[in-house]
Amino acid sequence: MAVEIINGRRVGVSRKGSGAPMLMLHCALAHRGALGPLMAAMPKRAFTAFDLPGHGETEFDTAVDIQAQAVETAISLLEETGPSDVFGHSFGATVALKLALERPDLVRALSLFEPVYFSVLATANPKAYAIETKASAAFGTACLVQDWPAAARAFLARWSVDRFDTLPAPQQAYILRTIPLIMASKSSIISPQSGVDLLEKLKKLEVPIQLITGGTSPVVINEIAEALAAHAASISKKIIKTAGHMGPITHVNEVAALVSSHTA
């Protein structure tokens, strides 16, 4: 594990294993180590994982959109390794998809576990977008008044298997440090215009994409998956019926099997 300077910013990066290259992108509020068990379940791979902006050991440059910043880092790393398979979870999956749209030459195959691209619903499914806006209102209100414990409780209650108040103190402190970054992604994954742009570009993407969802995840996840799949012939959908949004953590072997079969 090391900190490197990439595009003038400090970035926490790990490289491990040997074989076909694969880039791993974790979810929000986590760090690159969170995908360690998933990597261990996929041998014969040369993994590169980095902390997303503001997470782990990576700094967040507030002058640059958080998703764009992550994509810049991913591009720099893949320009070193050459074309790679890419796995992304949740917000990390949105980074992976944006990476493929911007630099398809660097992506061999894409595995996305529940990309939280809410913005695509504004165009593809306005009713679902309105419902999601209402469902996330408590979280948004807490963020506006900077009540980060309330924001963390609202966010984890919907998206995680954990509950904020039951977590160890160090983990609570880390979440309180990173929870404001959720709102930093508003322009890239929630704003309607970002969804319009993504769906238009997605029609032309030829990179093979595996879109994995959990059977117990919020309904909006499947609605996003349907919207994405309707705009790209290169997308194949898979479901792990007993998994939720944290499937890459709770259902390691099932996720590993799907990703390995897609990138073989």
Arithmetic mean of pLDDT, 115-126: 96
Cα–Cα nearest to 47, from 71, 23, 82: 23
What are the structure tokens assigned to 218, written together? 């919020």
pLDDT tens for residues 189-228? 999 999 999 999 999 999 999 999 999 999 999 999 999 9
Upper half-sphere CA count for residue 117 (Cβ side, 13 Å): 33
Percentage of the chain exceeding pLDDT 70: 99
Model confidence at 230: pLDDT above 70: yes
Q: Which domains does the chain have, with CATH numbers?
A: 2-118+193-263 (3.40.50.1820)
**The predicted structure's pLDDT at residue 263:** 81
**At residue 200, what is the residue type?**
E
- pLDDT, position 1: 55
pLDDT mean over 149-163: 94
Q: How many CB atoms lie within 10 A of CB 49?
A: 27
**264, pLDDT greater than 90:** no
Expressed in angstroms, the distance from the first to the final Cα of the chain is 27
Mean pLDDT confidence for 157-185? 94
Reported confidence tier of residue 233, pLDDT bands at 50, 70, 90: confident
Three-class DSSP category at 4: strand
37: which 2 tokens?
């068990």
- Using a pLDDT cut of 90, give the percent of the chain over it: 95
Give, for 110, the enclosing helix (H) or strand (E).
strand 107-113
Across the strands, what pairs with 6?
A: 9
Mean pLDDT (the chain) is 95
| Mean pLDDT, residues 72-78 | 97
